[in-house]
């Protein structure tokens, strides 16, 4: 797959969570675009605001789905989400930095590669073929 472009390989098989992952990719794409057009200083704080919504909504929702469906690696997964939350707070405390946009792009890109495409795919593989939540 092309990096940071949505394809079926990115799907976790749960439409609501897929839609939220796609939102993250959209923010990432817009952020990259803004660094090329010279608008990143204005857009980076907006992107962070959107990501805050993403973080609180998506991560909590995903944790709930994993818990309800009895995912055996729930605690490890949640621990990775905690790391995301901590790094996100650190980014927020540096809003005035000139390199904010590039730091957020690196953070999101890394999260996409190391968590969404690996850890999220692990639960997707586990749930595939199992009945949905009651």
Q: CB 94: neighbour CB atoms within 10 A?
A: 12
Closest contact distance (angstroms) between CB of 58 and Fe ion is: 6
End-to-end CA distance of the chain: 34
Angle at 84 between CA 126 and CA 35, to 5 degrees: 115
66 binds Fe ion (CB under 5 A): no
Helix axes 40-54, 15-37, angle to 10 degrees: 170
Candidates 120, 122, 128, 134; binder of Fe ion (CB under 5 A) is 120
Closest contact distance (angstroms) between CB of 66 and Fe ion is: 8
Closest contact distance (angstroms) between CB of 62 and Fe ion is: 5
Q: Write out the residues near Fe ion by the rule CB under 5 A.
A: 62, 120
């Amino acid at each position: 797959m092309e990096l940071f472009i949505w394809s079926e390989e990115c799907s976790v098989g749960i439409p609501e969570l897929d839609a939220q992952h796609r939102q993250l990719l959209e923010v990432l794409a817009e952020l990259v675009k803004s660094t090329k057009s010279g608008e990143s200083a204005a857009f980076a704080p907006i992107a962070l605001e959107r990501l805050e919504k993403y973080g609180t909504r998506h991560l909590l929702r995903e944790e709930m789905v994993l818990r309800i469906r009895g995912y055996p690696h729930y605690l490890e997964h949640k621990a990775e989400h905690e790391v995301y939350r901590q790094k996100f707070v650190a980014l927020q405390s540096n809003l005035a930095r000139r390199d904010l946009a590039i730091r957020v792009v690196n953070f999101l890109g890394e999260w996409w590669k190391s968590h969404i495409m690996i850890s999220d795919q692990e639960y997707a593989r586990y749930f595939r073929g199992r009945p949905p939540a009651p």
